[in-house]
Amino acid sequence: MFDLADRIRGEIAATGPMSIADYMRRCLSDPKAGYYTTRDPFGTRGDFVTAPEVSQMFGELIGLWCVSVWTALGEPERFDLVELGPGRGTLMADLLRAARIRPCFTEAAAIHMVETSPTLREKQQQALAEHAGRVTWHDRIEGLGDGPLLLVANEFFDALPIRQFVLGPDAWRERMVGLDGDGALAFALGPPVSDPSSAENLPLGTEPGAVLETSPEGERIMAEICRRLGAAGGTALIVDYGKDRAAYGDTFQAVARHGYADPLADPGAADLTAHVDFLRLSQIAEAAGLAVSGPVGQGDFLLEMGLLERAGSLGAGKGQAVQEEIRAAVERLAGDDQMGRLFKVMAVSHGKIAFPGFDRSRATTHRPVEQEHKG
């Protein structure tokens, strides 16, 4: 049986270069050899560490945020608590543990996990074993019901396929994945895009060599989230790394074994991502008549939600090693030179709500979760 690289090369040889979006889709989601469908990439023994894996504090503060928003929404007796791309289920497990401060929240929540990977679904089932029977898994967001929605998407949009366009001397061309003279995978440019309005509304008037990235799949999923919020009410919280203003640039990258890799070197063996365009996501929400808060830096969001207070609670009475571990986690989550600034947080709601976490000038009023350190 040909491996994924052989199959991709064979397809390109037969039909011509493929878009970066098609290449990402195959590398990440191929049923037999896709990166996410065949492995658990998270944690120190994987390829990268996400915020929920850095510390329980991240998921706990997201849980407090959800409880606060549920209260602001009028405490619906039944609502859908949804996570997109739930990883190992760590975030949802920590969220639900923190939410026990309001037992009626957890009783009202119907838990939904949108996950296509069989490997990761098994991990999620283990993490949420105490909630067995209350969790439903879906392949697509379109499979959700029609009740009020509280949705969390942490590092989800960055792994959705993107398209890239490069401005030449006289026209935009789509960057493709083709073959070089030796038959190896290599980037190539497609034919000129003569009508920008038919290709993601590409802007004109910038310098040759500029790279524009778009995410049609990300836009489709965001539009579906907004449709659901508009129809049934609720709120979505999006946390990811990316940009909050219009900008050109090539952000397509591969990560393997906690370092950057060549995205074309070993298809299916590395995570492929790109920076999220928060401006475009907010435009989609506003066009749907929804209210948008943020984006703000993840550090600012977590600090307002009580990160330092929670860290102090976890470290109280513990030995120096545990306290150092907690301090390092705080710096990793909120430091400007780590996740604090690059990662953004944005909330979208069917109505205007004064969300916690989006105004550092407002005094923090959220009390820490009174629970034990997991480590």
3-class secondary structure per residue, 183-229? CCEEEEEEEEECCHHHCCCCCCCCCCCCEEEECHHHHHHHHHHHHHH
pLDDT for res 119: 87
Q: Would you state the pLDDT for residue 158?
A: 95
Average pLDDT rounded to a whole number, residues 91-102: 97
Amino acid 354: pLDDT = 83
Q: Enter the DSSP assignment of 231.
A: H
**What are the chain's domains?**
4-31+163-213 (no CATH), 51-161+215-250+269-349 (3.40.50.150)
Q: Which two tokens stand for residue 344?
A: 């953004």
pLDDT at 366 over 60: no
pTM value surpassing 0.75: yes
324 touches 220 (CB < 8 A): no
Q: What's the DSSP call for residue 254?
A: E
Kindly report, residue by residue over 160-181, the tens digit of the pLDDT: 999 999 988 878 899 999 999 9
Helices (H) and strands (E) in the chain, counts: 13, 16
Q: What is the CB neighbour count within 10 angstroms for residue 358? A: 19
Question: What torsion do the CA atoms of 124, 128, 129, 131 make, to the nearest 10 degrees?
Answer: -140
- Of 211, 184, 188, which Cα lies nearest the Cα of 18? 188
pLDDT at position 302: 97
pLDDT value of position 308: 96
Judge contact between 328 and 315, C-beta under 8 A.
no
Reported confidence tier of residue 263, pLDDT bands at 50, 70, 90: very high
Mean pLDDT, rounded, for 317-333 = 93
The average pLDDT across 202-218 equals 80
Q: Phi, psi at residue 49, to the nearest 5°?
A: -120, 125
In sequence order, the 6+-apart residues with CB closer than 8 A to the CB of 228 are 141, 144, 146, 149, 234
Beta 234-243 vs 276-277: how paired, if at all?
parallel
Residue-averaged pLDDT of the chain? 88
Above 60 in pLDDT, residue 91?
yes
The pLDDT value recorded for residue 44 is 52
Across the range 30-44, mean pLDDT stands at: 71
Residues 151, 83: Cα–Cα separation, whole Å: 6
How far is it, in rounded angstroms, from Cα 222 to Cα 217? 9
- What pLDDT, on the 0 to 100 scale, is given for residue 42? 61
Query: pLDDT confidence of 362, banded at 50, 70, 90?
Result: very low
For the record, the structure tokens of 9 come out as 């090369």
Pairing outcome for strands 234-243 and 149-154: parallel
The pLDDT value recorded for residue 20 is 97
DSSP state of 74: T
Q: What per-residue confidence (pLDDT) applies to 360?
A: 55
| pLDDT score at 247 | 79
- Interval 333-356: pLDDT, tens: 999 999 999 999 999 999 888 888
Q: What's residue 40's pLDDT?
A: 63
Q: Which of 62-76, 110-124, 200-214 shows the lowest per-residue confidence on average (mean pLDDT)?
A: 200-214
Q: Which of 27-41, 71-85, 191-205, 260-274 has the highest mean pLDDT?
A: 71-85
